A = this chain, B = another copy of it.
Amino acid sequence: MKDYVIIGNKAVTGGKISLNDLPGSAGRMDVLCRCVTASLFISFGMRRDVNVHLILKGEPGPEKIVRFCGATMKSLNPDERSSGSMIQKALLVDAKETETQSTPGVFVRTGNLSNLLEEFKNKNRMLIYLKEDGEDIFKTGFKLEDPVFILGDNQGVFEDDENLIKNSGAVSISVGPISLLSSQCITIIHNQMDRNEIQSAQNQSEQNE
């Protein structure tokens, strides 16, 4: 299982968002939509072993978490408007502390980064913080097992959230020499994991011969 957590610093938490203005009135929801596409889509298919957790921190509050579940996702297309439409429907749900399914494969609840980190820690998941000064994912020796990647949006990660992430024991990694869009970082992470998995399978196969 692979999980991506994306912090939407201004992403709105209520009301009917306009699909014609995801960047503006919805608080850069377009950034989160691109992250959903990067996390879940491959050519002619979907990564069924991936969850995407969008943390919406914008007005009017309280904070919400919208989860896109690759395993059960239906009717999602790679365009921003498609995931935006699912977020729109999720925001119309009267969110509780436990998840409500708003459309097939999309779940919403009230909650914040602290809640999510606690839950992942309780499951002994490997927490990885995407940060420009982190170790290059191409060079890291450690094996990525059931990783949870935590990324900021276009505004990055503010100090309070960064402290939470660091206190959770997350390791910092980067994806290269240039600072990229959050969705681009996800694409590169996936590509590296795809390569690692193929390599592991080949090594295993050779050992069995």
Residues of A within 8 A of B (CB): 19-20, 22-23, 30-31, 34, 37-38, 41-44, 77-82, 138, 154, 175-181, 184, 187-188, 191, 194-195, 197-198
Contact = CB atoms under 8 A, between A and B. Distances in A.
Contact of A42 (B44, B181, B195): B181
29 contacts: A19-B20, A20-B20, A20-B81, A22-B81, A23-B79, A23-B82, A30-B78, A31-B78, A34-B78, A34-B79, A37-B181, A41-B181, A41-B184, A42-B179, A42-B180, A43-B154, A43-B181, A44-B179, A80-B80, A80-B81, A81-B81, A175-B191, A176-B191, A176-B194, A177-B195, A177-B197, A180-B187, A180-B191, A188-B188
B41 A78 contact: no
Contact of A79 (B22, B41, B184): B22
A30 B179 CA distance: 24
A177 to B, nearest CB: 4
Contacts of A181: 37, 41-43, 78
